[in-house]
Structure 1
Amino acid sequence: MKLLVIGSGGREHAIVWKMSQNPKVTKIYACPGNAGTQSISICENIELINIDDIIEFAKKENIELTILGSEELLVAGIVDKFKENGLVAFGPHKAAAILEGSKAFAKEFMLKYGIKTAAYKKFDNYKAAKKYLEEIEYPTVIKASGLAAGKGVIICETKENAETAVKEIMLDKKFGDSGNEIVIEEFLTGVEASILSIYDGKTILPFISAKDHKKIGENETGLNTGGMGVIAPNPYVTNEVLDKFNKDILEPTLKGLKEENLKFCGFIFFGLMINEKGVYLLEYNMRMGDPETQAILPLMKSDFVDIIIAAQNQKLNEIEVEWEEKNSCCVVAVSGGYPEAYEKGYEIKNIENIDNLLFLAGAKNNDNKIVTNGGRVLNIVAIGDALDIARKKAYNDIEKVDFKKKYFRRDIGIVK
């Protein structure tokens, strides 16, 4: 098999790493990939920007399966265009991708199908949104409705904070056109959880749970990021929580997808909040999560490509995914200044001394050196029989890695 993976992050490095273990896979292309995908012997990085060029390449090289990490391309309808050209892209068609592409649409879908979620209102008018801030309780959550690279969610402790957030999103265009419409949402307290799943149009098959750490600062302080680290499985996701997830979220989601004719073969990411009132759905992503993928795939005993093929054949109801009975801890090293302004081009040293898994993200090869090329630079992933063992191994390794202005959180996986 010849495969294509679209994206350039740690998620894509992890996906290529896992897929390369299937003996039927002879060649993988990463578009554009990074220094990590380039280091895998059967993988070649390619530089293609627009959908038409990607399609022409996939045709020419007889690509049998394409995996997408890019939410922008999904929302732009790349899966539909692949299908029109007789190609297979594993992901939602344009009509289903809007569940990630528009938080307002996703909330309406949740409400329509009785999916447990926080109360909300949506606005495309700045003055109306600002007036609504006088009527609600605080804290509250302000979300840019469109895609914002995981950073378009602001928790506002006061009315003044909320007014600033609404102005920055809607008038100052902090997140570009993603903020043309916003969602103002009830603030939920509790513990967050991520459940990645695979969908074949008939069945949603959940993977093991994970716990992401979104904020830049320790103890979940500061700005939202694309993810500073993750552990799997999530210690707060008990059998009771899974039962509530299935009943209040997964089953009504499946019902809604079928009734709205949003049938596709791909991944669905459920972002959850767990508290004393139950399990709430915060958001959908229509692809593998980052950095959750980096923590989950190393625990997957089953073959990842075979699972995807089962989904393509609508046979997920016939398989069971096997998992290592262990824990993983992923710690992300970022460029100083992220998630706002940061510098690139610093050499990354000592990665040859790492004992555990390394998934590169914002890193590229430059004159036979690996240099920083993004905000989230790399992921160290360690596996242990217990979470504290995995944490210790991951932190031992991340201390070894050296690049100018390196920053990482020191509290990933601390369970209180």
Structure 2
Amino acid sequence: MKILVVGGGGREHALVWKLAQSPRRPEILCAPGNPGTAEWGRNVPVGAEDVEGLLALAERERVDLTVVGPEAPLLAGLADRFREAGLRIFGPSRAAAEIEGSKGYAKALMTRVGIPTARYAAFDSYEEALRYLRSRGAPVVVKADGLAAGKGVVVARTVEEAEAALRSMMVDGVFGESGRRVVLEEMLEGREATVMAFVSGETVVPMVPAQDHKPVFDGNRGPNTGGMGTYSPVPWIDEDTMTRVESKILRPVARALVEDGRPFYGVLYAGLMLTAEGPKVIEFNARFGDPEAQVVLPRLETDLLDVLEAVLDGTLDRIEVRWSPQAAVCVILTAAGYPGSYRKGDSITGLDEDGSLQRGDQNEALIFHAGTARADDGSLVTAGGRVLGVTGLGNSLADARRAAYATVGHIRFQGMHHRTDIAAQAADLA
């Protein structure tokens, strides 16, 4: 069997790594891939948003299944194009992916069907948004309506901060067309968590929960990023909470998408705030989270390939999806300057020669490449803002955290930055 994984970041490395473990021993291609994916499959230099190029690649290579990692190709209609050509692809249609592509659409859908979420208002006009903001005051959450690589959310504690965010998005165009429309939300109080689910129409199978850390600095300070680290399990999500998330959020949204004529086939990501009133939705995404995939996929015991095919075949309700009791903690190593402009081309040292797996202090740690490249001499260099994800595994969050940071201590590149508090609070509570 031949599989094509679309994308070239840490999530895609995790997907390739997990698919390579299938007893069916698939041949794996990754487009465009990175040095990490190259250790488990064959990289092909086709961009993740090159819809026609990916289609031509899949047809030329006679690919049996394509798995889409990032959100942008889904919103460019990649899944629709493949299905029109009679090719199997794991990922929602463009219409279904609008649950991520437009925060306004997602909020309207949630309001219509009673899914718990923050009160909001959406605006195309900067002046109208400004008037609303000044009438309501702060704190407030300002969100770019479209895709912004996880950076289009500003939690403003003051009206002045919110006004600056509105101006940046709607007037200065820092996120391009994605920020021309904005959503203003009440700020929810509580603990954040992520619950992803395999979704096949109205059939929903939740994954184990995870917790991401968005701000760039320790103590959740500084600007938001695409994710500085994550961990699983989440101590404050018990079985009752998971039951509530499934019954009040995941199943209703899957059913609503079917009723809207946008049936969802893929991974649905629910970003949650666990409030005093119960879990409420911060956002939906239409794919595996990154870096959440780097802690959730290592805990999956069922063959991932079997699960993906069950989603597409409509047999998801007949498969048992099993999870390891192990804990996983992922620490993201970033380039100097991230999430702003950042350096590239710095030499990375401290990894094994293949750059894909490291052993640290009696514990296992997985290395997932996100923004790396091979220099002309074959050495490993930085090539993105988020460079590497180091995932430690252990019998507890504390053990997994020690394994991750022990390995981080062996890795070096110029200007390397990482948070030192990933999973610290959770490890103390577990």
* TM-score normalised to structure 2 length: 0.94
Inter-partner Cα distance in structure 1 for 2:276 and 2:383: 42
- CA distance, structure 2, for counterparts of residue 252 and residue 309 of structure 1: 23
Q: Which residue of 2 aligns with 1:314?
A: 314
Q: Aligned residue for 1:198?
A: 198
Residues 258 and 264, structure 2, Cα contact 8 Å, conserved in 1 = no
Q: 2: CA distance between counterparts of 1:240 and 1:135?
A: 38
Deviation at residue 177 of structure 1 after TM alignment? 0.9
Deviation at 1:257, TM superposition (A): 1.6
Does 2:369 correspond to 1:365? no
Cα distance in structure 2, aligned partners of 1:247 and 1:71 = 25
Distance in structure 1 (CA, Å) of the matches to 2:42 and 2:239: 42
Provide the secondary structure at the position in 2 that maps to 1:116: coil
Cross-structure match for 1:402 = 412
- Report matched runs for 1:133-172 at 5 Å: 133-172=133-172
Residue 231 of structure 1 is matched in structure 2 by 231
**How many angstroms apart in 1 are the aligned matches of 2:29 and 2:338?**
29
Displacement after TM superposition at 1:27 (Å): 1.3
AA partner of residue 124 (structure 2): D
Query: Residues 111-126 of structure 1: matches in 2 within 5 Å?
Result: 111-126=111-126
Could you tell me which residue of structure 2 aligns to residue 354 of structure 1?
Answer: 358
Q: Distance in 1 between matches of 2:316 and 2:202?
A: 8
Q: Give per-residue Cα distances to partners, 1:344-383, cap 9 Å, x unaligned.
A: 0001101118312111110011121110000000011111
Residue 82 (structure 1) shift: 0.3
**Counterpart selection for 1:385 from 365, 373, 395:** 395
Q: Which amino acid aligns with 1:280?
A: K
- Structure 2: distance between partners of 1:201 and 1:254: 6
Aligned partner of 2:281 in structure 1 is 281
* Structure 2 residue 321 is the aligned partner of structure 1 residue 328: no
1:226 aligns to what SS in structure 2?
coil
Q: Are 2:392 and 2:403, in contact at CA under 8 Å, matched by a contact in 1?
A: yes
Partners of 2:7 and 2:32 within 8 A in 1: yes
In 2: Cα distance, 1:172 partner to 1:401 partner: 38
Q: Is the 8 A contact 2:254 2:264 kept in 1?
A: no
Per-residue CA deviation, residues 189-243 of structure 1 (Å, 9 max, x unaligned), is 1111111111111301111000111110111111010100000011121122112
Q: Distance in 2 between matches of 1:259 and 1:357?
A: 41
Q: Tell me by how many angstroms 1:23 deviates.
A: 2.9
Question: How far off its partner does 1:71 sit?
Answer: 1.1
User: How big is the shift at 1:299?
Assistant: 0.9
Looking at structure 2, the residues matched to 265 and 249 of structure 1 have their Cα atoms a distance apart, in angstroms, of 17
**Partner SS, residue 135 of structure 1:** helix
Aligned to 2:222: 222
Per the alignment, residue 362 of structure 2 pairs with: none
8 A Cα contact 1:270 1:283, kept in partner: yes
Partner of 1:338: 338
- The match for 1:107 is 107
Question: Structure 1: where are the runs of 5+ without partners?
Answer: none
What SS does structure 2 have at the residue aligned with 1:16?
helix
Letter paired with 1:182: V
Q: Does the residue aligned with 2:391 lie in a helix, a strand or coil?
A: strand
Paired with 1:274 and 1:238, the residues of 2 have a C-alpha distance of 12
Q: 2:129 aligns to what?
A: 129
Contact residue 354 and residue 400 of structure 1 kept, 8 A: no
How far apart are residue 25 of structure 1 and its match? 3.5
Partner in structure 2 of residue 45 of structure 1? 43
- C-alpha distance in 1 between matches for 2:73 and 2:397: 36
TM-score, with length taken from structure 1: 0.98
The one-letter amino acid of 2:43's match is N
Q: Kindly provide the amino acid, as one letter, of the partner of residue 362 in structure 1.
A: G
CA distance in 2, matches of 1:250, 1:150: 21
Structure 1 contact 113–255 (Cα < 8 Å) conserved: no
Q: How does 1:207-286 map to 2 (within 5 A)?
A: 207-286=207-286
| Alignment match, 2:25 | 25
Q: Distance in 2 between matches of 1:202 and 1:251?
A: 7
Over the aligned positions, Cα root-mean-square deviation in angstroms equals 1.1
Query: Identity across aligned pairs (percent)?
Result: 40
